[in-house]
Structure 1
């Protein structure tokens, strides 16, 4: 008798747990494709606030710290990169747009110019596939063991 009472109390809890687990797999977004932004979102209002003659500290206050900087000679540049990515539910990513905001400074850390670059401004760079040979020959683990005998 106590086993029957215990099973009667656990059955509704087990059913509720099963229902909760089944509903957890459902999402409100039924789309197979999602879009997201990687990096810095470049708002138009922030871009309009940056003008020649402003200080580097003011640019950092308005835009935040840059993703990358460049110092060449007496000039410095801050780069803010925004990438819009489209991702399918199967894990395939594709870049839809990339915007790079470049803010150039003079030797006194004052803004000289700003530029906005897109994917169309980029150039494809081919990566060299040749390798520098290492000392000895490239051998697998099994080759190394067999050669030691």
Structure 2
């Protein structure tokens, strides 16, 4: 006695086709670039050597802003000011964890007439590591939840 194979129903054929398409999509994602669990990117200002070469002593603050753009932060001390442009190279994992791999700071210093005095590029090796104080300043009163606050007012 021969056993005849049962013909596939329409739903079974669609399910088989969808699973084949899904398998093809999964395998297409297995390219060498798709297997990387980390991404490298730059945050902040991208310091280019061309823009850096254009900044020279005696130039105006406005020209520096035209060439480099608005600074990320400024500092004033006495009659002098400084513009700071920060570039951070970050490695981000597939799970959202960001690790700063390298940080470069371009500082442009201006005199009282808003003319460039000097420029400097600082890297990670030029910085100082310091501990951030994690203690909290005590405050008067109690930390209560919303329900405790309602019950205390009654």
Normalising by the smaller structure, the TM-score range is 0.7 to 0.9
**Which entry has the higher C-alpha Rg, 1 or 2?**
2
Q: 1:98 and 2:77 equivalent?
A: no
Structure 1-normalised TM-score? Answer: 0.76
Q: Aligned partners of 2:122 and 2:80: how far apart in 1?
A: 19
Deviations 1:90-124 (A, max 9, x none): 32322111000000000100000001101111112
Return 67-76 or 117-126, whichever deviates more.
Answer: 117-126
> TM-score if structure 2 supplies the norm length?
0.73
Q: Hey, what's the Cα distance between the residues in 2 that align with 1:23 and 1:74?
A: 63
Distance 2:65 2:30 in 1: 42
* Aligned counterpart for 1:116 among listed residues 116, 121, 145: 121
CA RMSD, 1 decimal: 3.1
Instruction: Tell me if 1:59 matches 2:64.
Output: yes
How many residue pairs get aligned? The number is 145
Runs of 5+ consecutive residues of structure 2 not aligned to the other structure:
1-10
Q: Does 1:68 align with 2:51?
A: no
Describe the superposition over 1:49-69 as per-residue Cα deviations: whole angstroms up to 9, x where unpaired.
101000111101111111111
